[in-house]
Amino acid sequence: MSVLLPYIKRKIHFIFDLIYKRVILIGRIFKLNLYLMWPKTLYIEITNLCNANCRMCPRHDLNRQEEHMDTNLYKKIIDEASAWFYKPKIHLVFLGEPLLHPDFIKLVIYAKSKGLVVSTISNGYAMNNEYAQALIESGLDEITFSLDSLSKKIYEQIRIGLDFDIVQKNIHNLLRLKKELNSKTPEVQISMVIQDLNRHEKDDFIKYWIDKVKGVYFQYEFKDFEDGGRRKINNNINKIISERRKSCYYLDEMMVIYSSGQVTVCPADDFAEMLVGDSKLEKLLDIWRGDKYKNLRRKHMEGEYKRIKKCANCDYWRGYNVTKEEVEIGKRKLIKDANELCENYRLKK
């Protein structure tokens, strides 16, 4: 029975998740202000410090204090989230390199001890052999490495301040250690932010990584990428937004907690423009079900996007709603967003 228990729990969670998605869909169709009673995902910015200076990162303009999240605050967040009926997925990243948090491994172990699924995104530079072993033993479920090129020259032009050889060595070392320790976790994904410098490498990048990792993930680039970071939207995208605009799923499903403890509503809000609460002072569920959140959801349901400064020119919401066309690449399936100006692919085994 104890062997079956995790399987049964996963199945129950899966069915519950399915029902939740339908509820949200019905809410969208009938313009009802429905949202999940609990967020599905918590982004926790355990640090906003970084060891890189990537050319496309909005962190260049960070207007918040640079800090690691206080461990006691982190535990408060995890204690609350793990007590919910619906356990959210914990994503230990926002702006900053998570592995720089001095207690990163302990933070993962704590969340895992509370039965939560934990993932992160890293540049991999700080993950030496010892760190890699500790990561595997921590029980971390998933890690995505941001690795934008197969070429040292191009990589170091994009991921400024990092050393391509060290990062490659570290990732391969983690994959080797996983095999040696016969560990299924963390599942490893590799991501690439497509831009002019690396666009020509995309196919080779897939070929190189697809058999080595769980998935290869491509993030989009905007045309005016070099002018001010990936959050900036150009005029053509604005046109598409006005034609097809739909209510944003982030407001219904996830919550972002900055290293300070302040809470915002989505991963597009790098600069704290849509604060809805403070996790140091309030319970997360009170924030989630509070008036500030409700007002934002209502404006979206009523199509009043332009009345929210940050949402007016944002197209993050499209990630959920765009038409998907499926293409076979060898035995693996490529799910491609039908999107004229940006690319967002996810390769799945």
Question: By the criterion CB under 6 A, which residues form the site for ligand SF4?
Answer: 248, 250-251, 265-266, 268-269, 310-311, 314, 316-317
CA gap 55, 52 in Å, rounded: 9
Partners of 146 in the β-ladder: 191
Q: What SS3 class is residue 263? A: strand
Which whole-number Å values give the CA distances from 328 to 90, 150, 211, 311, 336, in the listed order? 31, 23, 15, 34, 10
Q: Which is nearer to ligand SF4, 164 or 250 (CB)?
A: 250
Q: Which is nearer to ligand SF4, 342 or 347 (CB)?
A: 342
Q: Which is nearer to ligand SF4, 128 or 242 (CB)?
A: 242
Minimum Å gap between C-beta 217 and ligand SF4 is 18
Minimum Å gap between C-beta 76 and ligand SF4 is 25
192, 147 contact by CB (below 8 A): yes
Q: Which is nearer to ligand SF4, 55 or 246 (CB)?
A: 246
Minimum Å gap between C-beta 29 and ligand SF4 is 19
CA gap 8, 6 in Å, rounded: 6
Q: Which is nearer to ligand SF4, 108 or 255 (CB)?
A: 255
CA gap 210, 204 in Å, rounded: 10
CA gap 170, 277 in Å, rounded: 38
Minimum Å gap between C-beta 316 and ligand SF4 is 3
Helices (H) and strands (E) in the chain, counts: 14, 12
110, 101 contact by CB (below 8 A): no
Minimum Å gap between C-beta 88 and ligand SF4 is 18
Q: Which is nearer to ligand SF4, 193 or 314 (CB)?
A: 314
Minimum Å gap between C-beta 273 and ligand SF4 is 8
In one-letter notation, the amino acid at residue 78 is I
